[in-house]
Copies of this chain bind each other. A is one copy, B any other.
Amino acid sequence: MPLMKNSKTTYALLGWLSTGPMSGYDLKRLTDRYIGQFWAGSFGQIYPLLHDMLDVGWVTMHEERTGSNPAKKVYTITETGRREFVAWFSTPVEPDVARSELLLRIFFGSFAPPENLIECLEGLLKDSRAKLALYESMREEFPKQYAHLPNLPYIMITLDRGFVVHQGFVEWAERALKTLKNIASNDHPQ
């Protein structure tokens, strides 16, 4: 029996397929839309992974010809696939590896004009504030809009994470900007 590649994106796909059969195109759309904030998946990754999962027996496939071309290929999770998916939850989690060009710049910030960092930070702060507002409104709307979903509590936890992440960023960026603006005004007195 062939082995699966070591990509966690496999489990994102199995997760979606646990909710019902769908195509690679559908999987890409759902991934971008609902888990894009913490998980990415390109077509160049999804299509080959689906082929591998088929080889390994975690999914089955049937074509749906709706007159259009190419035929839509609909994937269905198998019992083996379900078992593999559930087994994943009891393996060790990979801790999030954060790579931050912003922090890299700030750490070595004394070698460049502070204005550059201020501009960077203000841009990101604006974005983060917008996302914070978005998460806030989703936290309010989702319980009403998706009250029927049995997995709503799980979705709410991931939304709450987005909220806290951006809240923390905004809080920090405001403090950082204060420091940097102070440095900048001392660099150019008057």
Contact = CB atoms under 8 A, between A and B. Distances in A.
Nearest to A153: B179
Contacts of A150: 110
Contact of A104 (B8, B100, B179): B8
Interface stretch (A20-28, A51-59, A167-175): A167-175
B109 A95 contact: no
A105 B120 contact: no
Interface residues of A, number: 65
Secondary structure type dominating chain A contacts: helix
B95 A111 contact: no
A11 interface: yes
A108 B102 CA distance: 31
A39 B96 contact: no
A99 interface: yes
Nearest to A35: B107
Interface in A12-52: 12, 15, 18, 34-35, 37-40
Interface string A54-71: 000000000000000000
A161 B101 CA distance: 13
A116 B104 contact: no
A74 interface: no
A183 interface: yes
Interface of A: 8, 11-12, 15, 18, 34-35, 37-40, 85-86, 88-90, 93-113, 116-117, 120, 123-124, 127, 150-151, 153-158, 160-161, 164-165, 167-169, 171-172, 175-176, 179-180, 183
Q: What are the 4 A-B residue pairs with the smallest beta carbon separation, nearest first?
A: A15-B108, A168-B168, A110-B151, A89-B112
6 contacts: A37-B98, A40-B97, A94-B101, A107-B155, A108-B154, A109-B151
